[in-house]
Amino acid sequence: MKKILLITCCLISLVALSFTNHTSLQPKSLNDSSKGLNAYFSKYFTIGVAVSPRSLKTNEAELILQQFGSITPENAMKMGPIHPKENEYFWNDADSIVAFAQKNNRKIRGHNLCWHNQAPRWIFTNAAGDTVNKEVLLQRLKDHITTVVNRYKGKIYAWDVVNEAISDKPDEYLRNSPWLRICGEDFIAKAFEYAHAADPDALLFYNDYNEINPVKREKIFKLIKTLKEKGIPIHGIGLQGHWAINEPSEDELNKTLKRFSELGLKIQITELDISVYNKEHNSREAKPEDQNTEFTPEKEMKQIEMYKRCFTLFEKYKKTISGVTFWNISDRSSWLDNFPVRGRKDYPLLFDKNGKPKQAFWEVVNTVK
Ligand code: GLA
């Protein structure tokens, strides 16, 4: 009897071990991470990454080329960095990213042409410091978009044209930004028209976050539908996808992808990362409990589940989704190390601090059918 019990116990622990033993989850044919995420997913969509010009000069460049098929400048093409003064553009950073991508035959997503954040101060004011009128601001927007899109014409296949124009307040439609206050909602349609005139072949996206929230989702849907009905050149919806271990739920994400599929445009997940902390939307001061920044097995397990959920659903909507871009390369550094809590280390990506694939990498790869 004792013997049977012992054998049963051994069997049970063996089974349990095979579930917890990470390497056992790697299928034999997929045990080489050097094949790269983009290759694993090529039958569904392109997998991209947001980069800084500096990262292209470190050993992360190798990881980028090994894993990703598309490159997005994290900051270098935003209006503030690229157009710091009215008559001055700063091209070095953006140019170096474009040159790297071209040399290595990677696609490039441009990010972004019109946003309320990281906009240069000069754009909204005149020499005396007064706010400019609509006519002046639209002319400046046109000059900016025409110059930037033209410079990279034929090199950038898709642009985030307008970023985050929808309000987070449930009872407010568009965000109360200087763009809206000065121009009214026209600036959105105009931005798309200017971009299309500068490069008729570029795919133009509207990009926003917290699209899983049903109220915000409907507002984004309404904006895009209205633009389409007016014949404005818009080709895609960018869902940023800055998510976390506790959201989105399967139902929320499924409803989101389903709803946006109804627009008949392409969807791209443009800024994917999954924070190992519960989602918070606003930056705040550190609290004593924020001291524990260890990447615990519990956090890892939750992150794995969320990554699996996301990719399983992305694959379900493969006919509509044309790209998934990670917002940063590895856990070595990410914008989430400083948001929502400055200095709180996060581990939101599929590669660890040393650029090695995490267990989440294999779980994501294993969702490919
Ligand atoms: C938004 C922007 C991105 C980036 C992130 C934070 O999602 O679209 O460009 O600034 O915030 O890194």
CATH code of the domain containing 311? 3.20.20.80
Is 18 part of any domain? no
Is 134 part of any domain? yes
Give, to the nearest 10 degrees, the angle between helix 134-151 and helix 186-198: 30
Is 46 part of any domain? yes
Q: Give the three-state DSSP class for 170.
A: coil
Q: How many CB atoms lie within 10 A of CB 294?
A: 11
Q: Which residues pair with 196 in a beta bridge?
A: none
Is 223 part of any domain? yes
Q: 333 C-alpha to center of ligand 1: Å?
A: 14
Number of domain units in the chain: 1
Is 5 part of any domain? no
- Tell me how far the alpha carbon of residue 38 is from its chain's centroid: 15
Peptide bond connecting 348 to the previous residue in cis, omega within 30 degrees of 0: no
Whether 120 contacts 80, CB under 8 Å: yes
Rg (C-alpha) for the chain, rounded Å, is 22
Is 326 part of any domain? yes
Q: 242 C-alpha to center of ligand 1: Å?
A: 9
Closest residue CA from atom 2 of ligand 1:
163
Is 233 part of any domain? yes
Q: Give the three-state DSSP class for 282.
A: coil
Is 30 part of any domain? no
d(CA 240, CA 359): 23
Mutate which of 327, 333, 346, 349 for ligand 1? The one with the most ligand atoms within 8 Å of its CB, which is 327
Q: 220 C-alpha to center of ligand 1: Å?
A: 17
Whether 28 contacts 306, CB under 8 Å: no
Q: Which residues pair with 96 in a beta bridge?
A: none
Ligand 1 atom at minimal distance to the Cα of residue 75: 9
Say if ligand 1 is within 6 A of residue 307 CB.
no
Q: How many CB atoms lie within 10 A of CB 14?
A: 9
Q: C-alpha distances in angstroms, 55 versus 159, 186, 328?
A: 22, 37, 10
Q: Which residues pair with 166 in a beta bridge?
A: 174
Say if ligand 1 is within 6 A of residue 163 CB.
yes
The answer for residues whose C-beta is within 8 angstroms of residue 142's C-beta and 6 or more apart is: 190, 194
**Each residue's pLDDT expressed in tens, for the chain with a length of 369 residues:** 444 444 444 444 444 433 344 444 554 444 578 899 999 999 999 999 999 999 999 999 999 999 999 999 999 999 999 999 999 999 999 999 999 999 999 999 999 999 999 999 999 999 999 999 999 999 999 999 999 999 999 999 999 999 999 999 999 999 999 999 999 999 999 999 999 999 999 999 999 999 999 999 999 999 999 999 999 999 999 999 999 999 999 999 999 999 999 999 999 999 999 999 999 999 999 999 999 999 999 999 999 999 999 999 999 999 999 999 999 999 999 999 999 999 999 999 999 999 999 999 999 999 999
Provide the domain limits for residue 138.
38-278+294-365
pTM over 0.85: yes
Catalytic residues: 164, 271
Say if ligand 1 is within 6 A of residue 271 CB.
yes
Q: Give the three-state DSSP class for 348.
A: coil
pLDDT in tens, 31-67: 578 899 999 999 999 999 999 999 999 999 999 999 9
Closest residue CA from atom 8 of ligand 1:
163
